[in-house]
Each structure stands twice: as structure tokens, then as C-alpha cells.
Amino acid sequence: MDKNSKIYVAGHRGLVGSAIVKNLESKGYTNLVYRTHKELDLTNQKAVEYFFESEKPEYVILAAAKVGGIVANNTYRADFIYENLAIQNNVIHQSYVHGVKKLLFLGSTCIYPKEAPQPMSEDSLLTSPLEYTNEPYAIAKIAGIKMCESYNIQYGTNFISVMPTNLYGPNDNFDLEKSHVLPALIRKIYLGKCLEENNWEAIKNDLNENLIENIDGSASEEEILTVLEKYGIKKQFNIQHSTFKISIEIWGSGLPRREFLWSEDMADACVFLLENRDFKDVVDSYIGNSYTSAGCEPITNNQYTNIPITNTHINIGTGKDISIKELAELIKEIIGFKGSLVFNTDKPDGTMKKLTDVSKLNSLGWKYKMDLESGIKEMYKWYLN
């Protein structure tokens, strides 16, 4: 890409898109195109077609998606599959129609089967059933991978799919109903600390910035305590010691292990692939010596149809994981919360272990930089600001 190439970043306000925009701008790219959801509804086929006709982007980064944690995924199943399929279908197809030079499609490692061998390699895709709670979202993202592969094979496009692990960082979603586990824990434990310190000014400021079920800082303390308790932030009177005890309830046993990647590291990986790698590089990596040693000519566009090409997506992660219990304890220590963490085993755990195999990404020339403890400290500072 040239520094003045026209690059459309779909989903530029979200955790993923904002990090990619920041990375591109830091590297001197000056011709970035964005649209808010109000300006362009990506589920609207005609609107997307008109946008591509009028703007003619040379490169597309598809970071727009309907995302959420285990509660949101399991509750809004129809919304997750419909909206994500519609966004992908419209943007990927119009990128082909209008001759986009390269497209980067972002999914998630939740595409892998519930019982996938650990760490999860790209070849684990579609080998056994998915985790039920996020099946609609996962199916949509798998469809996006196969759409990119199919357009590359049939039309010779240069569409790359990347599957980041669990992300966290600036501009994350801290909505307690819809957020992922790490930002949810940061907010819940922070609010628990405020209750511990009887700091109602901080609690009300927090609610003014990010409402919980339409409850803001103008609500009464009783109303606030009621909604906080609903989301597992509990203040209870200890009769024996005549003091209040604060506890944070967390879904599940705390035993599941998860991998977390700093969003700005993810963005760096995405821009690295856009600048340095093409679909052909991924195919060459996939086929390996078995194809070239047979005396075949190097692969070029429109020659893929004679070769069984699959699982050409790329995992983006750290290759390291941590249990939810260990994560909660780490956040508790960083924030300085002194109350208790309570794990509700009546609630689902989800997949017990989700660790990505990042050997393909490493072989293409990229590795993460931010360790988890440092990243949480940075994210907490960002949240407070």
C-alpha cells in the first residue's frame, strides 16, 4: 500500500477498528475513509453498493461486526447471525465488484469447535461441533472466511481473513450486559472498589458515562445498588462485624482458560499483513512442500481451482492463556479491590480452554509485544480517564 492509498475501515469506532486506524495513522497513511453506522448501514445492500461506487476504496478493512460476550451471544442469537452475515455479504461482494486490491476480514477464534485440540490451529476449523452459546456468531464468521476463500479461488481476488483471540484495550465495550469478560471484570471490580470506599461521586460519574439499564448518576443510591446487584456487584451488611461487605459475582467456575491480546498489538499484526503479505503467501504456507516438490508452477491468481484450498485464515494471538479466576484476581490486585470474588457455578462456563496456535502468523513474520499485566494496567488507566 502507498501512504496515500484510499483505505476504507469499516467499524472504525470499535475496539478493533479504532486500534487499526490509530496504527495506520501512526505509519503515515493519510487517505482513510470512515462512515458511522448512522451514515452507512452495512446491512443495507443498496447503501453499501452506493458507497463503493462513489468512494472507490483501494483497500478495505472489515472490522465492523455485531459483537458481545457470552450473555449477549446467547440472548440475541438471531441478531448476531443476521447482522454479521449481512455486513460480510455486502462489503465482501462489493469489494470484488469494484476491484478492491486487498481486503482484510476480521473474525474471532470462537469459530473453532468446542472440543478443538489445544492450541487451536487453523486446521481445526469445521472438525466438530461449535460451542452452543456463541454458535450463531461463529457460523457467520466461518461463512465470512469461506466467502473470502471462495472469491479468491473463483475470481482471483486478494482477500485475507484473520481470527484474533479475545481482545482488550482502548475503546472497549464496558456495557455490563454486552461486554466481554475482561472489560466487564474491570468495570465490576472498579465499581466494587468505589462501593468499598463509599465513593458515590465516582459511581455516579461512571453511570453518567455508561448507563446500566437506563440508570444513570441521577438515580437514588437505592436504585443504583439494585441494578449493581443484578450484575453481580453486591453490598451486604455483616452483622457480626457491623460493617458492609462488597462482593463481585462472576459467571461460571472460574476454571475456563482464555487467551487475551492487546488490541493495539492486533492492529499492528493486521497492518503488517496488509503491507507485507498477500493471499498467495497464505496459500503457499498452507500447501507447503507437497505442492512445490511435485514440480508444479508457482501459484498465481485464477489457478487455485485445481488445488483443494481451505483453512487459509490466520490466527492472531499470543499463544498464552490464563484462567478466569486468575484473571479476576489479577484485575482485583491492579485495581486495589479488597472485597471477595464469588464464582456462580449455576451459570455456564462456555468452552473450558481456548488457546490459539499462532505458528502460522509467527512464520509470516509477526509476534505480539504487550504482556497481559501491563495491558490491563494500561486499559484501567484508559477507563479511568
- Residue 382 belongs to some domain of the structure: no
Confidence of residue 286 (pLDDT cuts 50, 70, 90): low
**Residues of the chain with pLDDT > 70: what percent?**
93
Q: How many domains does the chain have?
A: 1
Q: Evaluate whether residue 127 is within a structural domain.
A: yes
What is the C-alpha separation between 223 and 70, in angstroms, rounded?
26
Kindly state whether residue 240 falls inside one of the protein's structural domains.
Answer: no
Q: Which residues are catalytic?
A: 137
Residue 228 lies in a domain: no
Residue with cell 498452507: 286
Cβ-Cβ contacts under 8 Å for 227 (sequence gap 6 or more): 212, 213, 215, 219
The packing angle between helices 77-97 and 45-55, to 10°, is: 30
Here the CATH number for the domain that contains residue 18 is: 3.40.50.720
The more confident residue out of 351 and 92 is 92
Q: Flag whether 347 is in a domain.
A: no
**Closest by alpha carbon to 37, among 93, 109, 86?**
86
Joined grid coordinates for residue 24: 495506520
Question: The domain containing residue 99 runs over which residues?
Answer: 7-172+258-319+355-370
CA contacts within 13 A on the Cβ side of 367: 6
Tell me if 349 is assigned to some domain: no
Q: What is the pTM of this model?
A: 0.87
Using one digit for the tens of pLDDT, what is the confidence trace for 23-56?
A: 999 999 999 999 999 999 999 999 999 999 999 9
Domain assignment present for 267: yes
pLDDT at 85: 98
> Could you report the per-residue pLDDT of 204-241, keeping only the tens digit for each?
999 999 999 999 999 999 999 999 999 999 998 766 66
Residue 297's pLDDT band (boundaries 50, 70, 90)? Answer: very low
Residue 89 in domain: yes
81/70 Cα distance (integer angstroms): 14
Contact criterion met (CB below 8 Å) for 248 and 340? yes
